[in-house]
């Protein structure tokens, strides 16, 4: 008995032509079609963590400005009036019951008698040590905040690259699982017909039916992974839940961005010089050194205070307006200050030195962690290149075996169960290949971002062979 078996003519591995965005469907739900370049741009524009980092830089700029502003004096101008009624003490110690008033106006107000204005017209109070060091310290913290912002950008870029490729991989896995499910249904029907005709075992038919159920389960699992990947990408891009996301890349192709794989020593050096988390720690370490120097200098560098007032002044007895004129009031003071007899200054200096040592240890550990991370990525990249070659050959061999098994069934020389085993091998190889391609691209893009070499992307395109499949 010769049975006709419907064979799927397309296997996803050969669908390596660039996927085109589908035509928009009239629907209330907004559809957003994304490629990697657009995803990266949207990360810069929409990510909340990056927006917070930008505001932190702005706050650091304001702090630096405030550090310079302490060199500027305070200005006061207005009018004032005072009235006294009762005993006042004379120079010789005797008391005198008087009533008097005073009025003033101009630069500095609230003058009384021979006393200085309560509110000087121009006043300047400078802690010279703080005024000298604070602008330098706040500048280092500004640079650290800028490095923090860039590090947030780095981390979010890596997150969105991984999320994008996870979604593209999930889409490809769904396509593979749908193809596999359709083929499993055909093979299950064929095995059942063979068993009913007495040309095959019932056990083989049951096995084919179970395989169909497993494929259905795998498809549902792939849909769950797609939903998780969509949710993660929406979270990073800060998108509404009602937006549907589609990726241009539904068939993953290896990006040959590093060929050959770079030397680990050179790559680690590039990353160490470029990683902004290290720059941020170095700037904070310099700030702590300056803070420690400031605490020490507080014992030797004086504080300076100066005031100047000028304006009209007049007064008289009781409520009499009396006479008046104009007067100048000037004060200048230079003094040293020991906080808690100098013990507080010394303690603050030691605390800054301890913070400095802690930051140095953290910086050293970060350098070590990054070096290990890059070595791990390069090792994975080398292994992934070898895996791609193995899986590429495996897909070709599995497809050849599947086609030969299909021909045997057509010629009544084989059973559907043979096709089932061959197709299982082909499906597994294709899925492993897709997963490895996604990981391979993610590793390379991580290195590009870590070294700041995004210019490589401008001149690199996915590699394809003459038949249109991925190299």
pLDDT at 461: 40
Per-residue pLDDT tens digits for 286-332: 999 999 999 888 888 999 999 998 887 777 676 666 666 788 889 99
Q: What is the 3-class SS of the chain, one letter each residue? A: CCCCCCCCCCCHHHCCCCCCCCCCCCCCCCEEEECHHHHHHHHHHHCHHHHHHHHHHHHHHHHHHHHHHCCCCEECEEEEEEEEEEEEECCCCCEEEEEEEEEEEEEEECCCCCCCCCEECEEEEEEHHHHHHHHHHHHHHHHHHHHHHHHHHHHHHHHHHHHHHHHHHHHHHHHHHHHHHHHHHHHHHHHHHHHHCCCCCHHHHHHHHHHHHHHHHHHHHHHHHHHHHHHHHHHHHCCCCCCEEEECCCCCCCCCCCCCCCCHHHHHHHHHHHCHHHHHHHHHHHHHHHHHHHHHHCCCCCEEEEEEEEEEEEEEECCCCCEEEEEEEEEEEEECCCHHHHHHHHHHHHHHHHHHHHHHHHHHHHHHHHHHHHHHHHHHHHHHHHHHHHHHHHHHHHHHHHHHHHHHHHCCCCCHHHHHHHHHHHHHHHHHHHHHHHHHHHHHHHHHHHHCCCHHHHHCCCCECCCCCEC
Predicted structure pTM score = 0.77
Per-residue pLDDT tens digits for 161-185: 999 999 999 999 999 999 999 988 9
pLDDT at 7: 35
pLDDT at 469: 39
pLDDT at 468: 35
Report, as ranges of residue numbers, the positions in the chain whose pLDDT lies below 70.
Answer: 1-29, 111, 113-114, 316, 318-324, 409-415, 452-471
The CATH class given to the 12-70+131-290+344-459 domain equals: mainly alpha
């Amino acid at each position: 008995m010769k049975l006709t078996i419907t064979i799927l003519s397309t296997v996803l591995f050969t669908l390596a032509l660039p996927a085109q965005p589908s035509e928009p469907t009239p629907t209330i739900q907004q559809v957003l079609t994304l490629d990697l370049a657009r995803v990266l741009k949207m990360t810069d524009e929409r990510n909340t963590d990056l927006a917070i980092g930008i505001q932190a830089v702005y706050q650091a700029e304001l702090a630096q400005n405030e550090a310079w502003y302490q060199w500027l004096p305070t200005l006061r101008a207005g009018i004032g009036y005072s009235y006294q009624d009762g005993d006042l003490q004379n120079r010789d110690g005797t008391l005198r019951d008087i009533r008097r008033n005073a009025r003033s106006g101009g630069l500095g107000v609230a003058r009384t008698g021979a006393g200085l204005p309560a509110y000087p017209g121009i006043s300047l109070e400078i802690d010279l040590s703080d005024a000298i060091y604070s602008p330098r310290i706040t500048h280092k913290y500004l640079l650290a905040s800028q490095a923090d912002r860039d590090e947030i950008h780095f981390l979010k870029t890596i997150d969105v690259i991984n999320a994008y490729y996870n979604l593209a991989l999930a889409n490809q896995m769904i396509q593979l699982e749908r193809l596999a499910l359709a083929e499993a249904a055909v093979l299950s029907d064929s095995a059942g017909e063979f068993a009913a005709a007495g040309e095959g075992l019932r056990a083989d038919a049951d096995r084919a039916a179970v395989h169909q159920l497993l494929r259905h389960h795998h498809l549902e699992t792939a849909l769950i992974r797609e939903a998780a990947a969509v949710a993660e990408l929406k979270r990073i891009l800060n998108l509404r839940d009602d937006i549907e996301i589609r990726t241009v890349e539904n068939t993953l192709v290896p990006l040959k961005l590093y060929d050959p794989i770079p030397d680990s020593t050179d790559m680690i050096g590039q990353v160490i010089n470029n990683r902004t988390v290290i720059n941020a720690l170095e700037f904070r370490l310099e700030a702590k050194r300056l803070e420690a120097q400031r605490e020490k200098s507080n014992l030797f560098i004086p504080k300076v205070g100066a005031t100047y007032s000028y304006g009209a002044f007049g007064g008289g007895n009781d409520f009499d307006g009396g006479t008046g004129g104009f007067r100048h009031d000037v004060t200048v003071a230079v003094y040293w200050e020991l906080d808690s007899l100098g013990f507080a200054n010394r303690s603050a200096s030691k605390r800054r030195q301890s913070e400095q040592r802690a930051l140095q240890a953290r910086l050293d550990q970060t350098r070590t962690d990054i070096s290990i991370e890059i070595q791990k990525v390069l090792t994975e990249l080398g292994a992934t290149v070898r895996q791609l070659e193995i899986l590429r050959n495996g897909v070709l061999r599995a497809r050849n075996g599947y086609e030969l098994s299909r021909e045997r069934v057509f010629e009544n020389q084989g059973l559907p169960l043979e096709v089932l085993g061959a197709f299982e091998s082909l499906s597994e190889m294709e899925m492993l290949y897709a997963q490895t391609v996604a990981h391979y691209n993610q590793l390379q893009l991580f290195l590009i971002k870590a070294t700041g070499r995004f210019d490589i992307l401008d001149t690199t395109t996915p590699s394809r062979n003459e038949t249109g499949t991925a190299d």
